[in-house]
């Protein structure tokens, strides 16, 4: 088991990868540096290897697929994940590692949004999107994570080996954050500087399509992790629709003694039934989610025992 592993997912980053690897060596000279190339059509892999990184490959396209491969193959007490585009200064990495190794943090978030992101980033919709995503997750999951979409993070062994990677693309950062929050893992924020990509380096992130995927991921994970809240909102909405349909008919009945719109009354009844079904669905799935959290705690204990055994070998 390595003590510190630096993980760099890459796709066509030949213009910046050498500097990222060299900066990583200076910041954490004791760490092993792994570059995972994701079908690059340029010389990213060759340049990274020449710079001294251990180069491996993931042939399924997508950042989520790369992270799944990295987390599965690398064993370390602390992991530092950073993008290969040279937008994050590695000078912040030692402080992030310290929080994992000495203060029991499971995930340390490199917080760009509290420093230079909004001035350095030249894409206004990305600024807006980061704000929306951060507000949505903090409100839905009752947490205070400062930067949801950051590409610079540090992780504990327990987090990496217990995190089920389901996303294939850039929505993976959102999935990581929600997983840590919902399972009551220790999250720390570390303010880092952000610099825009150097000239000639092109972002792989699609503002609109990837933004929609991220919002879809938030909704999906809210349903999975907070089913009572999710289905409770649907139940309330259906109750409101049923009431809007029912009360005019009931008011007319009180005045005339007759039911004037039977079809509307029937629809109102079915909508009310759907509301009750949604409510009890959320209740049952909530119990299932609690059982899943209990099993997760058992898994963490097993991982801690496994880590101690590997360190002693």
| Secondary structure (3-state) at 107 | strand
In this structure, are residues 251 and 245 in contact, taking their beta carbons and an 8 Å threshold? no
Tokens of 10: 């890459």
Distance CA 31, CA 101 (A): 13
Task: Give the model's pLDDT for residue 306.
Answer: 82
| Secondary structure (3-state) at 191 | strand
Task: Give the model's pLDDT for residue 48.
Answer: 97
Task: Give the model's pLDDT for residue 240.
Answer: 97
Q: How far is CA 299 from the centre of its chain?
A: 20
Q: How many folded domains does the chain comprise? A: 2
In this structure, the answer to whether residues 191 and 236 fall within a common structural domain is no
In this structure, the answer to whether residues 205 and 238 fall within a common structural domain is no
In this structure, are residues 23 and 192 in contact, taking their beta carbons and an 8 Å threshold? no
Distance CA 176, CA 166 (A): 10
In this structure, the answer to whether residues 7 and 140 fall within a common structural domain is yes
**pLDDT digit string (tens) for 259-313?**
888 899 999 999 999 999 999 999 999 998 888 888 888 888 888 878 777 777 6
| Secondary structure (3-state) at 42 | coil
In this structure, the answer to whether residues 167 and 243 fall within a common structural domain is no
Task: Give the model's pLDDT for residue 129.
Answer: 77
- pTM for the whole structure: 0.82
Strand order in the sheet with 153-156: 54-57, 32-37, 2-10, 76-81, 153-156, 107-111, 187-191
In this structure, the answer to whether residues 163 and 240 fall within a common structural domain is no
Pick from 183, 208, 224: which residue ends a domain?
224
In this structure, the answer to whether residues 193 and 244 fall within a common structural domain is no
Contacts of 198 (CB under 8 A, 6+ apart): 15, 16, 86
User: Within the chain, which residues score under 70 in pLDDT?
Assistant: 122-126, 199-208, 210, 313
In this structure, the answer to whether residues 156 and 291 fall within a common structural domain is no
- Rounded (5°) CA angle 178-181-183: 105
Tokens of 90: 């590695």
Helices 172-182 and 207-225 pack at an angle, to 10 degrees, of 20
| Secondary structure (3-state) at 156 | strand
Structural domain that includes position 282: 227-312
In this structure, the answer to whether residues 163 and 203 fall within a common structural domain is yes
In this structure, the answer to whether residues 148 and 256 fall within a common structural domain is no
């Amino acid at each position: 088991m390595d003590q510190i592993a630096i993980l760099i997912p890459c796709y066509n980053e030949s213009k910046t990868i050498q500097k990222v690897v060299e900066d990583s060596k200076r910041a954490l000279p004791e760490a092993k540096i792994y570059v995972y190339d994701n079908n690059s059509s340029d010389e990213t892999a060759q340049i990274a290897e020449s710079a001294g990184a251990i180069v491996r490959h993931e042939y399924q396209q997508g950042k989520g697929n790369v992270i799944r491969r990295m987390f599965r193959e690398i064993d370390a007490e602390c992991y530092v994940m950073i993008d290969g585009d040279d937008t994050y200064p590695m000078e912040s990495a030692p402080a992030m590692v310290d929080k994992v190794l000495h203060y029991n943090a499971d995930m340390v978030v490199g917080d760009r949004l509290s420093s230079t992101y909004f001035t350095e980033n030249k894409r206004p919709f990305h600024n807006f999107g980061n704000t929306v995503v951060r507000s949505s997750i903090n409100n839905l999951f009752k947490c205070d994570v400062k930067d949801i979409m950051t590409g610079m993070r540090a992780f504990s062994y327990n987090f990496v080996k217990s995190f089920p990677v389901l996303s294939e693309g850039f929505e993976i950062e959102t999935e990581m954050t929600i997983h840590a929050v919902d399972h009551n893992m220790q999250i720390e924020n570390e303010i880092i500087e952000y610099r825009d990509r150097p000239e000639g380096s092109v972002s792989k992130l699609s503002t609109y399509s990837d933004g929609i995927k991220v919002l879809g991921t938030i909704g999906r994970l809210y349903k999975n992790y907070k089913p009572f809240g999710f289905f409770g909102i649907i139940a309330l909405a259906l109750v409101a629709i049923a009431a809007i349909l029912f009360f005019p008919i009931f008011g007319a009945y009180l005045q005339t003694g007759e039911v004037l719109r039977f079809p509307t009354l029937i629809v109102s009844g079915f909508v009310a039934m759907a509301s009750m079904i949604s409510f009890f669905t959320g209740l049952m799935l909530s119990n299932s989610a609690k059982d899943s959290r209990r099993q997760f705690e058992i898994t963490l204990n097993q991982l801690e025992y496994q880590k101690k055994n590997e360190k002693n070998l």
